[in-house]
A and B are shown apart, each in its own frame.
Chain A
Amino acid sequence: MLVAALLVLGFGLSGVSGVVAYFLPAISAALNITGHTTPGKGGHPLASPSTSPAPSSNQPFTVLLLGSDNDTKFQADDVLTQTMILVRINPETKAVVMFSIPRDLWVPIGDTGSLAKIDAAYADGGAAEAISTVENNFDVNVNYWVWIGLGGLVRVVNDLHDVNIVAQMPILDDEYPYDLNGSNPYDQARIAILPGPQRAAGVAALEYARSRHGDVLSDIARSQKQQQLLLDIKASANDVGLADVPNIANSLGDAVKTDMSITQVASLLPVAKAVGDGQVKQVVMVGSPYFSSPSYQIDGQDVLLPDWSAIHGLVSQYFPTS
């Protein structure tokens, strides 16, 4: 009897060890990715106390998605954020709003109020300053933040066995940054993406979402493509099973950071899976109402001067403050 019990226990422990060994990279990556505090850069005081209080279960909440496409050129946490997307998720209705903030928007940064392009907030004061800048200027409450680097994006798309994109036009860029493959992160390359539906592996998907030169809308158009790629990745990720998690987590390990806890992320996964195409509202500030000048230069920088009354009108439609 005792021998039988020992045998069952031994094989049970052995099986559990196999499971733990398999999911260890995922556990390790998840711990690495989640639960980050919201510090300023280099130990500076926080620009704001923290993100807004976490919402109670099933309450709508807002995540500030930060993306840096020059993370190979600079120290970690010293990067501009080429991507700033406010994502509001309503777990109950499964409705999602994605609202892109143009990186060239000329705004008071953090609580100091010094004027700069909004993409400098993260480099200047980390996630805290990016959040306070967005909250102060757009009159929204941000509950969480997520930062994504470009290398991880490429690996995740490859792990998902590619994604389908729909290029709304031919995309030609003779000065595309060639910083992932070569030794010099300032090298440039020519890229051409043909129009129409097509399947894209990691690098091609990144080229699609990152290129901005061959488009009259420049960064605004890039924001649209970035939102679209996120939805394309979500569509491919719907087929991911538990056994795929270690690979993907490994890919994300050093390329994603968030202040959400593991349990909060885990509770979001079923919600993300349940959100259908028609439930995602994509909002991009295109055109004349939102900027007092379509192109303007300050200190040699191309900037967008915001028309806050128009922008606040748009924001309040999708991000109620109460």
Chain B
Amino acid sequence: MRRFLATVATLALMALFGFAVYSVLGTLKSNKHNSEKPTATQALIDLPGTVYVVQEGVIYRLNNLHFTPLKAPKFDWVQVEPGPNGDILAVAYAPMYSNVYLLSSSGQVIRQLLSESSSQYFQNHWAYYPRVSPNGSTLFYVSDWVDPNSAYNVDFQIQAVPFANPSARAVVWSEPYLHYQGGDVEPIPLANGGIIYTKYDINDQAGSPDEGATYGQLVYASSPGVTPVQLTTPAENCSEPALSPSGTEIAMICSSNISLQTSTLDIASWNGTTLGPLVEISDGPLASSPTWAPDGKSVLYLNTLLTDKSSPFQLWWVPHATAKKPGAPEQVTAQLNFTATSPPIWNS
């Protein structure tokens, strides 16, 4: 009897060993690109003030190294922008359209600014990049425009409505080129009443070595509908402008070598009408969504790990960004997965 029990126990142990081998193999899966929730980590650098970022549909506040989710409604939040008086403009994604809300710094909805709710999906619109003019009177954003002659041809255009009455008829600020390359995005309202934005186009010069290359170009428009002034060249392929608090510097993302699929963080001086030469302050590999510090001395942006272009996006910081010799980029977070198309908000 004892021998029988010992045999059964040994066989059971063998089976357990086989199962253990199976289970251990399962734990060896690569988790290099798994990300944590921000609340499970803390920042590597204590940035002064408060930063707001988006990860996987949730808005987080970063303060004193720690992340806290905002108490916003459970929408799929995809973009945050600074609002007046420390409030937040936030874009909520829904399948086939998006809405814009004004949130308090804790996430409470103050009011809905732009609303799409038709049951006919093709009557709804996208709204992204909401930005308020420096005097607080106008809300700029991008919305889709469909060519009446071809439903295939859809581009973004920049529109503006009174911030106090956003349901008023929108003023169209930009006319996308009729090349159907995505149109116009990322408006930056200026104190002089004009805007800087990114215009997308394609090189359609037959026989040119760059024929067919798509590029972004920063442009300046002094008023709605005027032909914009080009600030960067097609070869520089720049986008995502961010104006410094003093209004004298612009940070942007440039990608002059499209085939390598890399992007750099650059800054240039801005005198209200023209841009100075570009100065690269981070060579990527996938720099995106720059934001200036409240004191205008440093720049926060999103980037992958320097040695792994396929890793999720983290917060990075360039100290002394406007100095003759800018500081080296420093990693602010690890193991997170921020939405790279949402520039962080950085309030004092």
Find out whether the CB atom of B17 lies under 8 angstroms from the CB atom of A190: no
Minimal beta-carbon separation of B121 from chain A (angstroms): 6
Q: How far is the CA of A243 from the CA of B262 in the complex (A)?
A: 30
Find out whether the CB atom of A289 lies under 8 angstroms from the CB atom of B207: yes
Question: Which of B34, B152, B253 makes the CB contact (< 8 A) with A161?
Answer: B34
Find out whether the CB atom of A166 lies under 8 angstroms from the CB atom of B95: no
On whether A243 and B30 interact (CB within 8 A), knowing A217-B212, A287-B206, the answer reads yes
> Which chain B positions have C-beta within 8 A of A217?
202, 212
Find out whether the CB atom of B21 lies under 8 angstroms from the CB atom of A288: no
> Which chain B positions have C-beta within 8 A of A287?
206-207, 211-212
Question: Which of A175, A197, A238 makes the CB contact (< 8 A) with B263?
Answer: A197
Q: Which of B65-73, B187-195, B307-315 contacts A (4 or more CB under 8 A)?
A: B307-315
Q: Does B89 contact A (CB under 8 A)?
A: no
Closest to A15 in B: B21
On whether A236 and B25 interact (CB within 8 A), knowing A11-B17, A197-B288, the answer reads no
Q: Which of B44-52, B132-140, B176-184 contacts A (4 or more CB under 8 A)?
A: B176-184
Question: Which of A160, A169, A189, A241 makes the CB contact (< 8 A) with B216?
Answer: A169
> Which chain A positions have C-beta within 8 A of B20?
18
Find out whether the CB atom of B260 lies under 8 angstroms from the CB atom of A278: yes
The interface centre, meaning the residue of B179, B286, B289, B313 with most chain A CB atoms within 10 A of its CB, is B286
Q: Does B126 contact A (CB under 8 A)?
A: yes
Q: How far is the CA of A292 from the CA of B124 in the complex (A)?
A: 40
Q: How far is the CA of A166 from the CA of B215 in the complex (A)?
A: 12
Q: Does A282 contact B (CB under 8 A)?
A: yes
Find out whether the CB atom of A168 lies under 8 angstroms from the CB atom of B258: yes
Q: Which of A100-108, A116-124, A208-216, A262-270 contacts B (4 or more CB under 8 A)?
A: A208-216
Find out whether the CB atom of B26 lies under 8 angstroms from the CB atom of A243: yes
Instruction: Determine chain A's interface SS by DSSP, over half rule.
Output: mixed
Minimal beta-carbon separation of A60 from chain B (angstroms): 21
Minimal beta-carbon separation of B264 from chain A (angstroms): 11
Find out whether the CB atom of A196 lies under 8 angstroms from the CB atom of B154: no
Find out whether the CB atom of A173 lies under 8 angstroms from the CB atom of B154: yes
Find out whether the CB atom of B156 lies under 8 angstroms from the CB atom of A166: no
Q: Which of A63-71, A227-235, A252-260 contacts B (4 or more CB under 8 A)?
A: A227-235
A:164-188 near B, CB below 8 Å: 164, 166, 168-175
Q: Does A199 contact B (CB under 8 A)?
A: yes
Q: Which of B162-170, B224-232, B274-282, B336-344 contacts A (4 or more CB under 8 A)?
A: B336-344
Find out whether the CB atom of B183 lies under 8 angstroms from the CB atom of A198: no
Interface residues on B, range: 35 or more
On whether A14 and B17 interact (CB within 8 A), knowing A286-B212, A288-B207, the answer reads yes
On whether A169 and B214 interact (CB within 8 A), knowing A10-B10, A189-B121, A199-B313, the answer reads yes
On whether A170 and B309 interact (CB within 8 A), knowing A21-B22, A162-B33, A288-B211, the answer reads no
Q: How far is the CA of A282 from the CA of B29 in the complex (A)?
A: 32
Find out whether the CB atom of A244 lies under 8 angstroms from the CB atom of B29: yes
Find out whether the CB atom of B340 lies under 8 angstroms from the CB atom of A198: yes
B281-302 to A contact mask, C-beta < 8 Å, 1/0: 0000011110000000000000
Find out whether the CB atom of A170 lies under 8 angstroms from the CB atom of B182: yes
Q: Does B185 contact A (CB under 8 A)?
A: yes
Minimal beta-carbon separation of A232 from chain B (angstroms): 7
Minimal beta-carbon separation of A8 from chain B (angstroms): 11
Q: Does B346 contact A (CB under 8 A)?
A: no
Q: Does A313 contact B (CB under 8 A)?
A: no
Find out whether the CB atom of B96 lies under 8 angstroms from the CB atom of A189: yes
Q: Does B122 contact A (CB under 8 A)?
A: yes
Q: How far is the CA of A216 from the CA of B155 in the complex (A)?
A: 11
Closest to B263 in A: A197
Minimal beta-carbon separation of B146 from chain A (angstroms): 7
A positions within 8 Å CB-CB of B:
7, 10-11, 13-15, 17-19, 21-22, 160-164, 166, 168-175, 189-192, 194-199, 213-217, 220-221, 228, 231-232, 235-236, 238-244, 247, 277-278, 282, 284, 286-289
19 additional contacts, CB 8 Å, given A18-B21, A287-B212? A13-B14, A15-B21, A18-B20, A22-B21, A169-B200, A174-B151, A191-B96, A192-B98, A196-B240, A198-B313, A198-B341, A199-B313, A216-B181, A216-B204, A235-B309, A241-B30, A244-B30, A277-B260, A289-B207
23 sampled A-B residue pairs with Cβ under 8 A: A18-B19, A19-B25, A22-B25, A164-B286, A168-B216, A170-B183, A174-B146, A190-B121, A190-B124, A190-B126, A195-B198, A196-B239, A196-B240, A196-B340, A197-B304, A198-B340, A199-B313, A213-B154, A217-B212, A241-B30, A244-B29, A287-B206, A289-B207
